[in-house]
Amino acid sequence: MEKLLNRFLKKPWLVLVVFLIMTVGFFKVMKSNSRMETDLDKYMPQHHPAFVFSNQAEEWFNIKDGIIIAIENQEGIFNSGTIQKVKDLTKALQKMKEINKDDVTSLYTADNIIGSEDGMDVRAFFKNTPKTDEEMELLRTNVRNNEMIFGRLVSNEETVTVIIAEIEDDVFSQEFYKQILELGESFNGPETIHVAGRPIVEGTMALLGPADMKRMVPIVLIVIILVLLTVLRSFKSTFFTLLVVMFSTVWTFGLMAAVGIPIYAVSTMIPVMLIAIGVADGIHLYSHLHLYMNKNPHAAKKDAMLDMIKGMWKPVVMTSVTTAVGFISLLTSQVYPIKYFGIFTAFGVMMAMVFSLVLIPAGVMVFGLPKWKKQKSDNGGNKASFATAFSAKIVKYKYATIILTAVIVFISIAGIGKVWINSSFLEKFEADSDIVLTDQFINENFGGTSTLNVIFDSQDNGAFKNPAVLTAIDKMQYDVEGTLQVVGNSFALSDYLKRMNKVMHADDEAYNVIPESQELIAQYLLLYEMSGDPENLWKVVDYDYKKANLTFQLKSDNSKAINSAIEVIERHVPELNKLNVDLKYAGSGYKGLVFTDLILQGQIASLVMSLIIVIILLSLMFKNFMAGLIGSVPIIITSIISFGVMGLLNIPLSTTTALLSSIAIGIGIDYAVHFLERYKIYAAETGDKILTSRHTMQHSGRAIVFNAIVVIAGFLVLLFSVFPPNRALGALVSLNMFTSFLGTVTIMYLLLFVSNIYFKKR
């Protein structure tokens, strides 16, 4: 390795030019092939049984996510202007090529099943906008009297009505998103038009994600430049360190584009990661060079480079490998975007290592040694005495240190129990953002913007014409809606039958129940097929009446809401099983829930795996298993504190914060590596434990503090993100870096001191 690096030194120009050309190549690939993934279904493992089933059920019952357009008129919607808008907007949506004509539901397209003395009518609520007051009043009465519509398409206060346009997963594009928003905008005034629904949430995220990244990268760069200038005190060094991280970022995204992997929301964090992590190598190399030049002010640049490579290649490789391992451990996740995030960040880290070891020396060879600005005052003496005092104090108050650590760990463990996973996509947005407010508005007026589908399945032909089965389902609907605030509405075959039973008995409320005989149910359904739109039936039941679909409308898409609904539903399962009916769940909300479970499992797996690998790597690097164990203590404590803080501060695990432990381990372990490396060297040099401690604390301290400052500064920039989970991640990683750093110089140092490693054999 060292020989190879030295060989590069002989042809620095060639090295620089070759790397520059390759980077330009990667940049071109990145420019032309990069693609942002906006379909959230693509984020989920498609082979997982829950997803396979859900996708199948979505096809059976034509379950799709809907764009919800709400038309609000404070004066009430029953006036010719607003009603005409409902019609015009419905027609405009139906004409869009991305939307199936039959998939638009509004007051204009809905079937009104009405009863009369001598029969039943299935009619449109209106064809032409009512002109007279009488006609308008009739429309209002019809809406009020139809529980399949009132509260579902028209709010109870009659000030809002919604149009729902269901779309396929694959038709969504930025262009379509813009068109929908523009369409809504064009109908504004005097009515207010609100646009919501999962496709819109996804679309907004797809739009904000890259915008957020574009905003974040320059800020990170500025912060890092400032930190680098402070730490390295040289423009030349700062420039080459930056070059390293920019090259590694370009190569990473170039590779991603070259192998055809799209940019997922989580991948937008990679540049921030690489910039914050990648500069560490540069800092170590330049500090070493600085120390060498202080000792040998007249050394030739070639000798300085040879010494730098000799002294530093090992720790640079070691810390980079351990960081990469932390990210590679994300491969255990079943969630592809997280897997890719792990692989590509690890690749970027390794590239940053290569560039640091090759480009920085080449840069010095070509452009000369950096000129360091003079430090204002040499406080090296102060630092040394502080380090000496610090190491002595830690040993002196060792019980206090241990007890304090134990208390913090204990409190954190208590907090871990409170950590919850959040699958909500909506909660990735600011609480006062337009999209969240619109969602709240619709949830206040209607059943809910999120859905949970319950799919019933029976082996018996015609099972869902059996009154006992339908009554059991109806009971479940009543129970779930009644028990849970968060469930606003439900819709199933039972609703059609109750409505028809009622209207066929002259609107008598006593007949708003499931009919008593299978014959009557079958005959009502036949009747509905004759007079209504049978397509609607196939959204709630299948052709053979062996499968049925019940849709719950929820006012929140977070995991707590969905889980609470499932809990109540599960209470009804034994009764349904007795009737030979099974149930499973489907829909995007449920898939999100399964998804978060997978994230949690992946979390635990990747955490355990990265810990094991890091311990093995440390043991191998320091040729001592005990050193490996002791070295992992700070990151174990860091992980516990990190999850504890999440629990105590009510920060949920999400696709973003799930990356935390791997990042924490991967980066946090670097401090332990540097400390152990120095400790080992000084132990061999001095053979004296107290002296070794002092030297290690003094020399390693500087590098570790610099390293921690850079990473913390870089990640704190994430606090400027528009996505709350990204901000949480930034704050938590910064916290983790701080605790790893503190853990390394306190408890790990203490354990190292007490264990007598590297002194036993003497």
Partner 1 sequence: MKTKKLQLVLMAILIAIPTLIFAQAELTGLQIIVNVYNRETGNDMQGDLTMSLINSRSAQRVREIKQFIKDFSGMEKKIMFFVSPADVRNTSFMNWSYDEAGKDDDQWIYLPALKKVKRISSDSKSDYFMGSDFTYDDLGDRHPTVDTHKILREEMVDGESCYVVESTPKDEEYMYSRTVSWIIKDKWIGLKKEFYDEDEELLKTLTVKKHEKISGYWTILSSEMHNVQKDHTTKMQLTNVKLDTGISAAKFTERMMKRGL
Q: Which residues bind partner 1 (CB under 8 A)?
A: 60, 116, 118-124, 127, 462, 465, 504, 515, 517-524, 526-527, 529-534, 538, 542-544
Smaller CB separation from partner 1, 311 or 462: 462
Smaller CB separation from partner 1, 74 or 517: 517
Strand partners, 112: 123
CB of 90 to partner 1, least distance (A): 15
Q: Could you count the other beta carbons within 10 Å of the beta carbon of residue 375?
A: 9
Q: How far is CA 203 from CA 206, 435, 438, in A?
A: 5, 11, 15
CB of 111 to partner 1, least distance (A): 9
Smaller CB separation from partner 1, 273 or 548: 548
Q: Do 494 and 85 meet the contact criterion of CB atoms below 8 Å apart? A: no
Smaller CB separation from partner 1, 22 or 579: 579
The values of phi and psi at residue 163, to 5°, are -115, 130
Smaller CB separation from partner 1, 155 or 466: 466
CB of 163 to partner 1, least distance (A): 20
Torsion angle, alpha carbons of 17, 22, 24, 26, to 10: -170
Q: Peptide bond before 534: cis, by omega within 30 degrees of 0?
A: no
CA dihedral (736, 332, 244, 366) positive or negative: positive
Q: Do 626 and 755 meet the contact criterion of CB atoms below 8 Å apart? A: yes
CB of 148 to partner 1, least distance (A): 17
CB of 118 to partner 1, least distance (A): 5
CB of 465 to partner 1, least distance (A): 7
CB of 463 to partner 1, least distance (A): 13
Smaller CB separation from partner 1, 37 or 111: 111
CB of 119 to partner 1, least distance (A): 3
Q: Do 338 and 658 meet the contact criterion of CB atoms below 8 Å apart? A: yes
CB of 96 to partner 1, least distance (A): 12
Nearest to 66 by CA among 88, 98, 42: 98
Question: E strand or H helix at 450, and its extent?
Answer: strand 450-458
CA-CA distance, 492 to 540, in Å (whole number)?
6
Smaller CB separation from partner 1, 176 or 524: 524
CB of 580 to partner 1, least distance (A): 18
Residue recorded with tokens 């950590």:
419
CA-CA distance, 538 to 7, in Å (whole number)?
72
- The percent helix, strand, coil of the chain (3-state, each to 5) is 70, 10, 20
CB of 543 to partner 1, least distance (A): 4
Nearest to 630 by CA among 673, 597, 570, 587: 673
Smaller CB separation from partner 1, 526 or 616: 526
Q: Report helix, strand or coil for 163.
A: strand
What single letter denotes the amino acid at residue 239? Answer: F
Nearest to 664 by CA among 336, 333, 380, 276: 276
Smaller CB separation from partner 1, 127 or 131: 127
CB of 164 to partner 1, least distance (A): 20
Q: How far is CA 318 from CA 191, 281, 532, 667, 733, in A?
A: 63, 11, 71, 11, 21
Smaller CB separation from partner 1, 366 or 526: 526
CB of 467 to partner 1, least distance (A): 11
Strands 111-116 and 119-124: antiparallel
CB of 77 to partner 1, least distance (A): 23
CB of 31 to partner 1, least distance (A): 38
* Full DSSP string of 389-427: HHHHHHHHTHHHHHHHHHHHHHHHHHHHTT--B---SGG
Residue recorded with tokens 């104090």:
393
Smaller CB separation from partner 1, 167 or 611: 167
Structure tokens given for 416: 């871990």
Exposure string for 251-273, b = 16+ CB within 10 A, e = fewer: bbbbbbbeeebbbbbbbbbbbbb
CA-CA distance, 680 to 678, in Å (whole number)?
5
Q: How far is CA 51 from CA 56, 169, 177, 584, 599, in A?
A: 8, 14, 26, 11, 15
Structure tokens given for 600: 């949690």
Smaller CB separation from partner 1, 59 or 432: 59
CB of 491 to partner 1, least distance (A): 20
Smaller CB separation from partner 1, 128 or 377: 128
The values of phi and psi at residue 319, to 5°, are -65, -35
CB of 121 to partner 1, least distance (A): 5
144 CB-near residues (< 8 Å, 6+ apart): 150
**Angle separating helix axes 301-328 and 2-10, nearest 10 degrees:** 130
Smaller CB separation from partner 1, 368 or 534: 534
CA-CA distance, 530 to 522, in Å (whole number)?
12
Nearest to 108 by CA among 77, 132, 134: 77
CB of 550 to partner 1, least distance (A): 20
Smaller CB separation from partner 1, 61 or 286: 61
Structure tokens given for 254: 């170039």
Smaller CB separation from partner 1, 119 or 368: 119
Smaller CB separation from partner 1, 137 or 544: 544
Smaller CB separation from partner 1, 78 or 126: 126
